[in-house]
Structure 1
Amino acid sequence: MHVRQVLLIEGGVNALITVCKMTVGLMTGSAAVIADAVHSLTDLANNLFAWLAIKVAESPADDSHPYGHQKFEQLAVFALASILTIVAFEVIVHAVERYGEPVEQNLLGLVILSFSLLINVSLTLWEGYWAKRLDSEILHADATHTLSDVLTSVVVIIGWQLAALGYYWVDTIFALVVSSIIFYLAFKLFQRAIPVLVDQSRYPPEQLKAAVDSIPAVITVGNIRSRDTGKGQVADVSVTVSANLSTVESHHIADQIERVLAEKFDIQDVVVHVEPDVDKEPIASDS
Protein backbone atom coordinates (compact mmCIF):
# COMPACT_ATOMS: atom_id res chain seq x y z
CA MET A 1 0.00 0.00 0.00
CA HIS A 2 1.31 3.46 -0.89
CA VAL A 3 -0.02 7.01 -0.46
CA ARG A 4 -1.78 7.24 -3.82
CA GLN A 5 -3.54 3.89 -3.28
CA VAL A 6 -4.86 5.12 0.09
CA LEU A 7 -6.15 8.30 -1.57
CA LEU A 8 -7.87 6.35 -4.35
CA ILE A 9 -9.66 4.07 -1.88
CA GLU A 10 -10.69 7.02 0.27
CA GLY A 11 -11.88 8.90 -2.83
CA GLY A 12 -14.19 6.01 -3.76
CA VAL A 13 -15.64 5.92 -0.24
CA ASN A 14 -16.11 9.71 -0.18
CA ALA A 15 -17.94 9.57 -3.52
CA LEU A 16 -20.40 7.04 -2.05
CA ILE A 17 -20.88 9.13 1.11
CA THR A 18 -21.48 12.30 -0.94
CA VAL A 19 -24.20 10.61 -3.01
CA CYS A 20 -25.89 9.26 0.14
CA LYS A 21 -25.90 12.63 1.91
CA MET A 22 -27.10 14.58 -1.12
CA THR A 23 -29.92 12.06 -1.66
CA VAL A 24 -31.09 12.48 1.95
CA GLY A 25 -30.77 16.26 1.72
CA LEU A 26 -32.96 16.44 -1.40
CA MET A 27 -35.47 13.99 0.08
CA THR A 28 -35.91 15.96 3.31
CA GLY A 29 -35.25 19.53 2.14
CA SER A 30 -32.72 20.03 4.93
CA ALA A 31 -30.24 22.83 4.20
CA ALA A 32 -27.90 21.44 6.86
CA VAL A 33 -27.84 17.99 5.27
CA ILE A 34 -27.26 19.47 1.80
CA ALA A 35 -24.45 21.59 3.27
CA ASP A 36 -22.91 18.46 4.74
CA ALA A 37 -23.14 16.74 1.35
CA VAL A 38 -21.28 19.66 -0.23
CA HIS A 39 -18.68 19.36 2.53
CA SER A 40 -18.23 15.68 1.66
CA LEU A 41 -17.88 16.67 -1.99
CA THR A 42 -14.90 18.80 -0.98
CA ASP A 43 -13.42 15.68 0.65
CA LEU A 44 -13.64 14.00 -2.74
CA ALA A 45 -12.03 17.05 -4.41
CA ASN A 46 -9.33 16.93 -1.74
CA ASN A 47 -8.56 13.32 -2.61
CA LEU A 48 -8.29 14.20 -6.30
CA PHE A 49 -6.01 17.19 -5.66
CA ALA A 50 -3.87 15.18 -3.24
CA TRP A 51 -3.52 12.26 -5.69
CA LEU A 52 -2.45 14.56 -8.52
CA ALA A 53 -0.12 16.52 -6.23
CA ILE A 54 1.59 13.39 -4.93
CA LYS A 55 2.01 12.11 -8.48
CA VAL A 56 3.70 15.35 -9.57
CA ALA A 57 5.62 15.85 -6.30
CA GLU A 58 7.17 12.39 -6.60
CA SER A 59 8.58 13.26 -10.03
CA PRO A 60 12.38 13.59 -10.00
CA ALA A 61 14.09 16.92 -10.53
CA ASP A 62 14.43 17.99 -14.15
CA ASP A 63 15.81 20.91 -16.17
CA SER A 64 12.81 23.14 -15.48
CA HIS A 65 12.54 22.13 -11.77
CA PRO A 66 16.12 21.46 -10.63
CA TYR A 67 15.10 21.52 -6.96
CA GLY A 68 12.33 18.96 -7.45
CA HIS A 69 8.52 19.18 -7.50
CA GLN A 70 7.72 19.05 -3.77
CA LYS A 71 5.87 22.37 -3.73
CA PHE A 72 3.18 21.04 -6.06
CA GLU A 73 1.75 19.24 -3.03
CA GLN A 74 1.39 22.54 -1.15
CA LEU A 75 0.01 24.20 -4.26
CA ALA A 76 -2.75 21.58 -4.30
CA VAL A 77 -3.47 22.24 -0.64
CA PHE A 78 -3.76 25.98 -1.39
CA ALA A 79 -6.18 25.24 -4.25
CA LEU A 80 -8.30 23.04 -1.97
CA ALA A 81 -8.42 25.75 0.69
CA SER A 82 -9.63 28.24 -1.94
CA ILE A 83 -12.37 25.84 -3.05
CA LEU A 84 -13.44 25.28 0.57
CA THR A 85 -13.76 29.04 1.08
CA ILE A 86 -16.06 29.33 -1.94
CA VAL A 87 -18.09 26.32 -0.77
CA ALA A 88 -18.54 27.87 2.69
CA PHE A 89 -19.97 31.03 1.13
CA GLU A 90 -22.33 28.95 -1.04
CA VAL A 91 -23.55 27.05 2.04
CA ILE A 92 -24.37 30.35 3.78
CA VAL A 93 -26.30 31.67 0.77
CA HIS A 94 -28.27 28.42 0.42
CA ALA A 95 -29.06 28.29 4.15
CA VAL A 96 -30.33 31.89 4.23
CA GLU A 97 -32.47 31.37 1.12
CA ARG A 98 -34.16 28.31 2.71
CA TYR A 99 -34.74 29.94 6.09
CA GLY A 100 -38.12 29.00 7.51
CA GLU A 101 -38.92 26.32 4.94
CA PRO A 102 -40.24 23.02 6.35
CA VAL A 103 -37.89 20.09 6.90
CA GLU A 104 -39.23 16.55 6.61
CA GLN A 105 -38.50 13.58 8.83
CA ASN A 106 -37.35 10.46 6.99
CA LEU A 107 -36.44 7.21 8.72
CA LEU A 108 -34.59 5.82 5.69
CA GLY A 109 -32.63 9.05 5.41
CA LEU A 110 -31.69 8.86 9.09
CA VAL A 111 -30.44 5.29 8.61
CA ILE A 112 -28.43 6.33 5.54
CA LEU A 113 -26.80 9.26 7.34
CA SER A 114 -26.02 7.14 10.41
CA PHE A 115 -24.45 4.50 8.19
CA SER A 116 -22.42 7.19 6.39
CA LEU A 117 -21.24 8.49 9.76
CA LEU A 118 -19.98 5.03 10.78
CA ILE A 119 -18.15 4.69 7.46
CA ASN A 120 -16.52 8.08 7.97
CA VAL A 121 -15.35 7.16 11.48
CA SER A 122 -13.81 3.95 10.14
CA LEU A 123 -12.25 5.86 7.23
CA THR A 124 -10.67 8.39 9.60
CA LEU A 125 -9.09 5.67 11.75
CA TRP A 126 -7.92 3.71 8.69
CA GLU A 127 -6.34 6.73 7.01
CA GLY A 128 -4.71 7.82 10.28
CA TYR A 129 -3.13 4.37 10.55
CA TRP A 130 -1.66 4.55 7.05
CA ALA A 131 -0.55 8.16 7.56
CA LYS A 132 1.62 7.02 10.49
CA ARG A 133 2.83 3.89 8.73
CA LEU A 134 3.78 5.74 5.52
CA ASP A 135 4.89 8.89 7.39
CA SER A 136 2.82 10.99 4.98
CA GLU A 137 2.06 14.63 5.82
CA ILE A 138 -0.69 14.87 3.23
CA LEU A 139 -2.43 11.76 4.60
CA HIS A 140 -2.23 13.21 8.13
CA ALA A 141 -3.87 16.42 6.86
CA ASP A 142 -6.48 14.48 4.92
CA ALA A 143 -7.31 12.32 7.96
CA THR A 144 -7.88 15.53 9.95
CA HIS A 145 -10.15 16.77 7.15
CA THR A 146 -12.14 13.53 7.30
CA LEU A 147 -12.42 13.84 11.09
CA SER A 148 -13.95 17.30 10.61
CA ASP A 149 -16.49 15.66 8.30
CA VAL A 150 -17.38 13.23 11.08
CA LEU A 151 -17.96 16.06 13.57
CA THR A 152 -19.95 18.01 10.99
CA SER A 153 -22.18 15.00 10.30
CA VAL A 154 -22.99 14.63 13.99
CA VAL A 155 -24.00 18.30 14.17
CA VAL A 156 -26.07 18.00 10.98
CA ILE A 157 -28.01 14.93 12.13
CA ILE A 158 -28.92 16.64 15.42
CA GLY A 159 -29.95 19.83 13.60
CA TRP A 160 -32.04 17.94 11.07
CA GLN A 161 -33.92 16.01 13.76
CA LEU A 162 -34.72 19.18 15.70
CA ALA A 163 -35.85 20.93 12.50
CA ALA A 164 -38.10 17.96 11.64
CA LEU A 165 -39.80 18.40 15.01
CA GLY A 166 -40.89 21.89 13.97
CA TYR A 167 -37.90 24.02 14.94
CA TYR A 168 -37.22 25.02 11.32
CA TRP A 169 -34.80 27.83 12.25
CA VAL A 170 -32.47 25.23 13.82
CA ASP A 171 -31.76 23.78 10.36
CA THR A 172 -30.50 27.15 9.12
CA ILE A 173 -28.42 27.74 12.25
CA PHE A 174 -26.79 24.33 11.95
CA ALA A 175 -26.08 24.91 8.26
CA LEU A 176 -24.26 28.10 9.30
CA VAL A 177 -22.32 26.05 11.87
CA VAL A 178 -21.26 23.71 9.07
CA SER A 179 -20.11 26.66 6.97
CA SER A 180 -18.07 27.93 9.94
CA ILE A 181 -16.37 24.54 10.23
CA ILE A 182 -15.55 24.64 6.51
CA PHE A 183 -14.15 28.18 6.85
CA TYR A 184 -11.96 27.06 9.76
CA LEU A 185 -10.73 24.05 7.82
CA ALA A 186 -9.85 26.28 4.85
CA PHE A 187 -7.99 28.65 7.18
CA LYS A 188 -5.90 25.79 8.61
CA LEU A 189 -5.04 24.57 5.11
CA PHE A 190 -3.98 28.10 4.11
CA GLN A 191 -1.82 28.20 7.24
CA ARG A 192 -0.13 24.99 6.13
CA ALA A 193 0.43 25.82 2.46
CA ILE A 194 1.27 29.52 2.32
CA PRO A 195 4.47 29.43 4.46
CA VAL A 196 5.94 26.77 2.18
CA LEU A 197 4.89 28.51 -1.03
CA VAL A 198 6.50 31.80 0.08
CA ASP A 199 9.67 30.12 1.44
CA GLN A 200 9.01 31.06 5.06
CA SER A 201 11.70 30.02 7.54
CA ARG A 202 10.77 28.04 10.61
CA TYR A 203 13.78 29.26 12.61
CA PRO A 204 15.08 32.80 13.26
CA PRO A 205 18.47 33.40 11.57
CA GLU A 206 19.92 34.36 14.97
CA GLN A 207 19.34 30.85 16.32
CA LEU A 208 20.96 29.22 13.31
CA LYS A 209 23.88 31.66 13.42
CA ALA A 210 24.50 31.00 17.12
CA ALA A 211 24.58 27.24 16.52
CA VAL A 212 27.07 27.54 13.65
CA ASP A 213 29.15 30.13 15.51
CA SER A 214 29.61 27.66 18.37
CA ILE A 215 31.91 25.54 16.18
CA PRO A 216 35.47 26.53 17.23
CA ALA A 217 36.97 26.54 13.71
CA VAL A 218 34.36 28.99 12.42
CA ILE A 219 35.66 32.56 12.59
CA THR A 220 32.59 34.43 11.33
CA VAL A 221 29.17 33.48 10.09
CA GLY A 222 28.08 35.50 7.07
CA ASN A 223 24.82 34.95 5.24
CA ILE A 224 22.62 32.23 6.74
CA ARG A 225 19.07 31.42 5.69
CA SER A 226 16.59 28.55 5.72
CA ARG A 227 13.22 27.71 4.22
CA ASP A 228 10.50 25.10 4.45
CA THR A 229 10.07 22.87 1.40
CA GLY A 230 7.04 21.01 2.70
CA LYS A 231 9.18 17.91 3.07
CA GLY A 232 11.67 19.40 5.50
CA GLN A 233 13.92 22.39 6.05
CA VAL A 234 16.86 23.41 3.86
CA ALA A 235 19.55 25.96 4.70
CA ASP A 236 22.33 27.95 3.03
CA VAL A 237 25.30 28.98 5.18
CA SER A 238 28.35 31.12 4.45
CA VAL A 239 31.27 31.07 6.91
CA THR A 240 34.88 32.19 7.08
CA VAL A 241 37.68 30.01 8.40
CA SER A 242 41.42 30.35 8.73
CA ALA A 243 43.08 30.94 5.36
CA ASN A 244 45.77 28.51 6.50
CA LEU A 245 43.46 25.49 6.43
CA SER A 246 43.63 22.89 3.69
CA THR A 247 40.69 21.99 1.48
CA VAL A 248 40.21 18.76 3.42
CA GLU A 249 40.14 20.59 6.76
CA SER A 250 37.65 23.13 5.41
CA HIS A 251 35.49 20.25 4.21
CA HIS A 252 35.52 18.76 7.73
CA ILE A 253 34.27 22.09 9.09
CA ALA A 254 31.44 22.06 6.55
CA ASP A 255 30.55 18.55 7.74
CA GLN A 256 30.43 19.81 11.33
CA ILE A 257 28.07 22.63 10.33
CA GLU A 258 25.75 20.18 8.58
CA ARG A 259 25.80 17.89 11.62
CA VAL A 260 25.03 20.72 14.08
CA LEU A 261 22.06 22.01 12.05
CA ALA A 262 20.71 18.49 11.60
CA GLU A 263 20.96 17.67 15.33
CA LYS A 264 19.62 20.97 16.71
CA PHE A 265 17.06 21.95 14.06
CA ASP A 266 16.48 18.77 12.03
CA ILE A 267 17.70 20.55 8.87
CA GLN A 268 18.91 17.69 6.70
CA ASP A 269 19.72 19.61 3.50
CA VAL A 270 22.46 22.19 4.06
CA VAL A 271 24.66 24.00 1.54
CA VAL A 272 27.83 25.39 3.15
CA HIS A 273 30.03 27.97 1.48
CA VAL A 274 33.46 28.19 3.14
CA GLU A 275 35.64 31.28 2.56
CA PRO A 276 39.17 32.11 3.82
CA ASP A 277 39.43 34.85 6.42
CA VAL A 278 41.40 37.41 4.37
CA ASP A 279 41.48 39.92 7.27
CA LYS A 280 44.06 37.81 9.05
CA GLU A 281 47.57 37.21 7.82
CA PRO A 282 47.95 33.52 6.93
CA ILE A 283 50.62 31.73 8.89
CA ALA A 284 53.61 30.91 6.75
CA SER A 285 54.11 27.25 6.23
CA ASP A 286 57.47 25.57 6.91
CA SER A 287 59.17 24.75 3.67
Structure 2
Amino acid sequence: MENQIISEEIRSKEAKKITLIGFVVNAILTGFKIFAGVTGNSSAMIADGVHSLSDFFTDIIVLVGFKITDKPEDESHNYGHGKFETLATAIISFALFFAGYKILISGLNNIYGALFKNILIEKPSIVPLIAAIISIISKELLYRYTKFVGERIKSSAVIANGWHHRSDAFSSVGTLIGIGGAFLLGSKWTILDPIASIIVSIFIFRVAFQILLPSVNELMEASLQKDEILFIENIIKTSPAIVNYHHLRTRRIGNKIAVEVHLIFDRNIMLYEAHEHATTIEKQIKDKFGSNSIITTHLETN
Protein backbone atom coordinates (compact mmCIF):
# COMPACT_ATOMS: atom_id res chain seq x y z
CA MET A 1 0.00 0.00 0.00
CA GLU A 2 1.22 3.49 -0.81
CA ASN A 3 0.47 4.88 2.63
CA GLN A 4 2.73 2.20 4.12
CA ILE A 5 5.64 2.95 1.81
CA ILE A 6 5.78 6.67 2.64
CA SER A 7 7.11 7.11 6.17
CA GLU A 8 6.35 10.16 8.30
CA GLU A 9 9.93 11.39 7.85
CA ILE A 10 9.75 11.17 4.05
CA ARG A 11 6.25 12.66 4.08
CA SER A 12 7.39 15.68 6.08
CA LYS A 13 10.48 16.12 3.90
CA GLU A 14 8.41 16.02 0.69
CA ALA A 15 5.91 18.52 2.06
CA LYS A 16 8.64 20.95 3.09
CA LYS A 17 10.44 20.55 -0.25
CA ILE A 18 7.42 21.36 -2.43
CA THR A 19 6.43 24.23 -0.13
CA LEU A 20 9.92 25.76 -0.37
CA ILE A 21 9.77 25.45 -4.17
CA GLY A 22 6.47 27.30 -4.12
CA PHE A 23 7.90 29.91 -1.77
CA VAL A 24 10.76 30.70 -4.18
CA VAL A 25 8.43 30.80 -7.22
CA ASN A 26 6.04 33.10 -5.35
CA ALA A 27 8.87 35.44 -4.39
CA ILE A 28 10.02 35.79 -7.99
CA LEU A 29 6.49 36.17 -9.39
CA THR A 30 5.42 38.71 -6.78
CA GLY A 31 8.40 40.95 -7.48
CA PHE A 32 7.98 40.57 -11.24
CA LYS A 33 4.23 41.30 -11.15
CA ILE A 34 4.57 44.45 -9.07
CA PHE A 35 7.46 45.65 -11.25
CA ALA A 36 5.43 44.95 -14.41
CA GLY A 37 2.37 46.69 -12.97
CA VAL A 38 4.26 49.82 -11.96
CA THR A 39 6.31 50.14 -15.16
CA GLY A 40 3.46 49.00 -17.43
CA ASN A 41 0.69 51.26 -16.06
CA SER A 42 -1.48 48.36 -14.91
CA SER A 43 -3.28 48.63 -11.58
CA ALA A 44 -4.73 45.17 -12.22
CA MET A 45 -1.24 43.66 -12.39
CA ILE A 46 -0.20 45.49 -9.21
CA ALA A 47 -3.27 44.04 -7.47
CA ASP A 48 -2.39 40.62 -8.88
CA GLY A 49 1.11 40.99 -7.46
CA VAL A 50 -0.26 41.97 -4.05
CA HIS A 51 -2.55 38.93 -4.24
CA SER A 52 0.52 36.77 -4.78
CA LEU A 53 1.84 37.98 -1.43
CA SER A 54 -0.87 35.92 0.27
CA ASP A 55 0.88 32.79 -0.99
CA PHE A 56 3.85 33.69 1.20
CA PHE A 57 1.65 33.41 4.26
CA THR A 58 0.20 30.05 3.23
CA ASP A 59 3.67 28.67 2.48
CA ILE A 60 4.84 29.75 5.92
CA ILE A 61 1.73 28.23 7.51
CA VAL A 62 2.38 24.87 5.84
CA LEU A 63 6.06 24.89 6.84
CA VAL A 64 5.25 25.78 10.45
CA GLY A 65 2.39 23.28 10.48
CA PHE A 66 4.65 20.40 9.45
CA LYS A 67 7.30 21.54 11.92
CA ILE A 68 4.75 21.03 14.68
CA THR A 69 3.27 17.86 13.15
CA ASP A 70 6.74 16.28 13.13
CA LYS A 71 6.82 16.34 16.91
CA PRO A 72 6.25 12.91 18.51
CA GLU A 73 3.43 12.12 20.90
CA ASP A 74 3.88 13.64 24.35
CA GLU A 75 2.03 13.97 27.66
CA SER A 76 0.03 16.94 26.39
CA HIS A 77 -0.76 15.39 22.98
CA ASN A 78 -1.27 11.65 23.42
CA TYR A 79 -2.50 11.24 19.85
CA GLY A 80 0.33 13.27 18.32
CA HIS A 81 0.16 16.68 16.65
CA GLY A 82 -1.70 15.78 13.45
CA LYS A 83 -4.48 18.29 14.15
CA PHE A 84 -2.04 21.13 13.56
CA GLU A 85 -1.94 20.11 9.89
CA THR A 86 -5.73 20.25 9.82
CA LEU A 87 -5.65 23.68 11.44
CA ALA A 88 -3.12 24.84 8.85
CA THR A 89 -5.48 23.66 6.10
CA ALA A 90 -8.34 25.65 7.64
CA ILE A 91 -6.17 28.77 7.86
CA ILE A 92 -5.24 28.42 4.18
CA SER A 93 -8.92 28.23 3.25
CA PHE A 94 -9.58 31.45 5.18
CA ALA A 95 -6.67 33.04 3.30
CA LEU A 96 -8.39 31.98 0.06
CA PHE A 97 -11.68 33.49 1.22
CA PHE A 98 -9.87 36.74 2.03
CA ALA A 99 -8.09 36.80 -1.34
CA GLY A 100 -11.39 36.15 -3.15
CA TYR A 101 -13.08 38.90 -1.14
CA LYS A 102 -10.38 41.44 -2.00
CA ILE A 103 -10.60 40.58 -5.70
CA LEU A 104 -14.41 40.81 -5.61
CA ILE A 105 -14.46 44.22 -3.89
CA SER A 106 -11.75 45.59 -6.17
CA GLY A 107 -13.67 44.44 -9.25
CA LEU A 108 -16.94 45.96 -8.06
CA ASN A 109 -15.25 49.27 -7.23
CA ASN A 110 -13.60 49.44 -10.64
CA ILE A 111 -16.88 48.71 -12.44
CA TYR A 112 -18.68 51.35 -10.37
CA GLY A 113 -15.97 53.90 -11.08
CA ALA A 114 -16.00 53.19 -14.81
CA LEU A 115 -19.81 53.24 -15.19
CA PHE A 116 -20.86 56.02 -12.80
CA LYS A 117 -17.80 58.21 -12.29
CA ASN A 118 -16.34 58.06 -15.78
CA ILE A 119 -12.99 56.95 -14.39
CA LEU A 120 -10.84 55.85 -17.31
CA ILE A 121 -8.17 53.29 -16.58
CA GLU A 122 -4.88 54.09 -18.27
CA LYS A 123 -4.00 51.75 -21.12
CA PRO A 124 -1.35 49.27 -20.01
CA SER A 125 1.76 48.32 -21.94
CA ILE A 126 2.71 44.84 -23.15
CA VAL A 127 4.92 44.19 -20.08
CA PRO A 128 2.08 43.33 -17.65
CA LEU A 129 0.46 41.26 -20.40
CA ILE A 130 3.59 39.12 -20.61
CA ALA A 131 3.74 38.97 -16.81
CA ALA A 132 0.16 37.65 -16.67
CA ILE A 133 0.95 34.89 -19.19
CA ILE A 134 4.08 33.85 -17.31
CA SER A 135 2.14 33.88 -14.03
CA ILE A 136 -0.65 31.67 -15.38
CA ILE A 137 1.73 29.07 -16.80
CA SER A 138 4.07 28.94 -13.81
CA LYS A 139 1.29 28.90 -11.19
CA GLU A 140 -0.69 26.22 -13.02
CA LEU A 141 2.40 24.02 -13.25
CA LEU A 142 3.13 24.70 -9.57
CA TYR A 143 -0.49 23.81 -8.68
CA ARG A 144 -0.32 20.49 -10.55
CA TYR A 145 3.01 19.52 -8.99
CA THR A 146 1.96 20.59 -5.48
CA LYS A 147 -1.37 18.76 -5.73
CA PHE A 148 0.41 15.64 -7.04
CA VAL A 149 2.80 15.65 -4.08
CA GLY A 150 -0.03 16.39 -1.63
CA GLU A 151 -2.10 13.45 -2.86
CA ARG A 152 0.94 11.15 -2.86
CA ILE A 153 1.84 11.96 0.76
CA LYS A 154 -1.84 12.33 1.72
CA SER A 155 -1.52 15.86 3.09
CA SER A 156 -4.61 18.07 3.08
CA ALA A 157 -2.47 21.11 3.91
CA VAL A 158 -0.22 20.61 0.87
CA ILE A 159 -3.22 19.99 -1.39
CA ALA A 160 -4.88 23.15 -0.03
CA ASN A 161 -1.71 25.09 -0.70
CA GLY A 162 -1.78 23.74 -4.26
CA TRP A 163 -5.27 25.12 -4.71
CA HIS A 164 -4.03 28.46 -3.46
CA HIS A 165 -1.49 28.40 -6.28
CA ARG A 166 -4.32 27.80 -8.74
CA SER A 167 -6.31 30.68 -7.26
CA ASP A 168 -3.38 32.91 -8.13
CA ALA A 169 -3.45 31.51 -11.66
CA PHE A 170 -7.20 32.24 -11.81
CA SER A 171 -6.64 35.85 -10.76
CA SER A 172 -3.95 36.16 -13.43
CA VAL A 173 -6.45 34.88 -16.02
CA GLY A 174 -8.77 37.73 -15.11
CA THR A 175 -5.86 40.12 -15.24
CA LEU A 176 -4.82 38.76 -18.64
CA ILE A 177 -8.32 39.27 -20.05
CA GLY A 178 -8.53 42.80 -18.72
CA ILE A 179 -5.04 43.83 -19.78
CA GLY A 180 -5.37 42.04 -23.11
CA GLY A 181 -8.68 43.74 -23.83
CA ALA A 182 -7.31 47.15 -22.91
CA PHE A 183 -4.07 46.62 -24.83
CA LEU A 184 -5.60 45.20 -28.01
CA LEU A 185 -9.06 46.83 -28.14
CA GLY A 186 -8.53 50.18 -26.50
CA SER A 187 -9.04 51.85 -23.14
CA LYS A 188 -12.83 51.49 -23.25
CA TRP A 189 -12.45 47.74 -22.82
CA THR A 190 -10.54 47.96 -19.54
CA ILE A 191 -13.84 47.16 -17.82
CA LEU A 192 -13.20 43.55 -18.87
CA ASP A 193 -10.60 43.39 -16.12
CA PRO A 194 -12.94 43.94 -13.14
CA ILE A 195 -15.68 41.80 -14.72
CA ALA A 196 -13.28 38.90 -15.12
CA SER A 197 -11.93 39.41 -11.60
CA ILE A 198 -15.43 39.04 -10.13
CA ILE A 199 -15.91 35.75 -11.98
CA VAL A 200 -12.52 34.59 -10.72
CA SER A 201 -13.42 35.49 -7.13
CA ILE A 202 -16.45 33.17 -7.32
CA PHE A 203 -14.19 30.27 -8.31
CA ILE A 204 -11.87 31.11 -5.43
CA PHE A 205 -14.77 31.15 -2.95
CA ARG A 206 -15.87 27.73 -4.21
CA VAL A 207 -12.40 26.21 -3.81
CA ALA A 208 -11.99 27.77 -0.35
CA PHE A 209 -15.28 26.26 0.81
CA GLN A 210 -14.36 22.83 -0.56
CA ILE A 211 -11.09 22.97 1.39
CA LEU A 212 -12.58 24.39 4.58
CA LEU A 213 -15.51 21.97 5.05
CA PRO A 214 -13.45 18.76 5.57
CA SER A 215 -11.08 20.62 7.90
CA VAL A 216 -13.94 21.91 10.05
CA ASN A 217 -15.48 18.42 10.20
CA GLU A 218 -12.16 16.97 11.32
CA LEU A 219 -11.61 19.65 13.95
CA MET A 220 -15.15 18.95 15.18
CA GLU A 221 -14.21 15.26 15.58
CA ALA A 222 -16.41 14.04 12.73
CA SER A 223 -16.37 10.31 11.99
CA LEU A 224 -14.72 8.80 8.94
CA GLN A 225 -16.58 8.60 5.63
CA LYS A 226 -19.35 5.99 5.37
CA ASP A 227 -17.40 3.81 2.94
CA GLU A 228 -14.39 3.87 5.29
CA ILE A 229 -16.54 2.84 8.25
CA LEU A 230 -18.12 0.05 6.19
CA PHE A 231 -14.64 -1.21 5.31
CA ILE A 232 -13.74 -1.41 9.01
CA GLU A 233 -17.06 -3.08 9.88
CA ASN A 234 -16.57 -5.71 7.15
CA ILE A 235 -13.14 -6.57 8.54
CA ILE A 236 -14.65 -7.10 11.99
CA LYS A 237 -17.64 -9.08 10.71
CA THR A 238 -15.48 -11.45 8.65
CA SER A 239 -13.34 -12.42 11.64
CA PRO A 240 -14.43 -16.00 12.54
CA ALA A 241 -13.93 -15.66 16.30
CA ILE A 242 -15.82 -12.41 16.87
CA VAL A 243 -19.44 -12.89 17.93
CA ASN A 244 -20.40 -9.23 17.84
CA TYR A 245 -19.05 -5.72 18.36
CA HIS A 246 -20.25 -2.34 19.62
CA HIS A 247 -19.14 1.23 20.36
CA LEU A 248 -17.25 1.60 17.08
CA ARG A 249 -15.81 5.11 17.09
CA THR A 250 -13.70 6.67 14.35
CA ARG A 251 -12.05 10.00 13.68
CA ARG A 252 -9.26 11.52 11.65
CA ILE A 253 -6.14 13.13 13.11
CA GLY A 254 -4.28 14.91 10.32
CA ASN A 255 -3.09 12.23 7.92
CA LYS A 256 -3.87 9.32 10.24
CA ILE A 257 -7.02 7.82 11.72
CA ALA A 258 -8.06 6.70 15.18
CA VAL A 259 -10.42 3.75 15.67
CA GLU A 260 -11.89 2.40 18.90
CA VAL A 261 -14.15 -0.65 19.09
CA HIS A 262 -15.40 -3.22 21.62
CA LEU A 263 -15.04 -6.79 20.29
CA ILE A 264 -17.21 -9.54 21.76
CA PHE A 265 -15.88 -13.13 21.79
CA ASP A 266 -17.28 -16.45 22.93
CA ARG A 267 -16.77 -16.85 26.68
CA ASN A 268 -14.79 -20.09 26.16
CA ILE A 269 -12.06 -18.48 24.07
CA MET A 270 -8.60 -18.13 25.56
CA LEU A 271 -7.35 -14.58 26.13
CA TYR A 272 -4.29 -14.99 23.94
CA GLU A 273 -6.49 -16.29 21.07
CA ALA A 274 -8.84 -13.30 21.36
CA HIS A 275 -5.83 -11.03 21.41
CA GLU A 276 -4.46 -12.61 18.23
CA HIS A 277 -7.77 -12.08 16.41
CA ALA A 278 -7.87 -8.44 17.58
CA THR A 279 -4.28 -7.96 16.41
CA THR A 280 -5.19 -9.36 12.97
CA ILE A 281 -8.04 -6.86 12.69
CA GLU A 282 -5.75 -4.02 13.70
CA LYS A 283 -3.23 -5.06 11.04
CA GLN A 284 -5.89 -5.20 8.31
CA ILE A 285 -7.11 -1.71 9.21
CA LYS A 286 -3.55 -0.36 9.20
CA ASP A 287 -2.92 -2.00 5.82
CA LYS A 288 -5.74 0.17 4.48
CA PHE A 289 -5.25 3.44 6.36
CA GLY A 290 -1.53 3.47 7.18
CA SER A 291 0.80 2.01 9.77
CA ASN A 292 0.54 5.15 11.93
CA SER A 293 -3.19 4.57 12.53
CA ILE A 294 -4.25 4.41 16.17
CA ILE A 295 -6.40 1.30 16.72
CA THR A 296 -7.79 0.55 20.16
CA THR A 297 -9.70 -2.71 20.72
CA HIS A 298 -11.51 -3.70 23.89
CA LEU A 299 -11.94 -7.45 24.36
CA GLU A 300 -15.20 -8.73 25.89
CA THR A 301 -17.03 -12.06 26.18
CA ASN A 302 -20.73 -12.77 25.90
Same fold (TM over 0.5): yes
1:220 to 229, 241, 244: 244
2:295 to 256, 263, 270: 270
1:285 aligns with none
Per-residue deviation, 1:221: 0.9
Identity of aligned pairs, percent? 26
Separation in 2 of the partners of 1:213 and 1:132? Answer: 31
Per-residue deviation, 1:141: 3.5
RMSD across aligned positions (CA)? 2.8
Per-residue deviation, 1:260: 4.5
Matched, 1:239 2:239: no
**5+ residue gaps in structure 2?**
1-12
TM-score (norm 2): 0.79
Per-residue deviation, 1:70: 0.7
Matched, 1:145 2:157: no
Alignment of 1:184-203 (within 5 A): 184-203=206-225
Matched, 1:4 2:16: yes
One-letter code of the match for 2:192? Answer: V
Matched, 1:16 2:28: yes
Change (3 A) 1:171 1:76: same
Per-residue deviation, 1:180: 1.6
Separation in 2 of the partners of 1:184 and 1:260? Answer: 37
Paired residues in the alignment total 277
TM-score (norm 1): 0.83
1:70 aligns with 82
Matched, 1:176 2:198: yes
1:109 aligns with 128
Separation in 2 of the partners of 1:96 and 1:28? Answer: 23
Please tell me whether the aligned partners of residues 38 and 87 of structure 1 are also in contact (alpha carbons under 8 angstroms). Answer: no
**5+ residue gaps in structure 1?**
278-287
Matched, 1:159 2:189: no
Give CA-to-partner distance per residue, 1:45-82, whole Å, 9 cap, x none: 21111011011111111111111111101101111212
Change (3 A) 1:207 1:114: closer
Separation in 1 of the partners of 2:230 and 2:156? Answer: 28
Please tell me whether the aligned partners of residues 72 and 80 of structure 2 are also in contact (alpha carbons under 8 angstroms). Answer: yes
Change (3 A) 1:135 1:80: closer
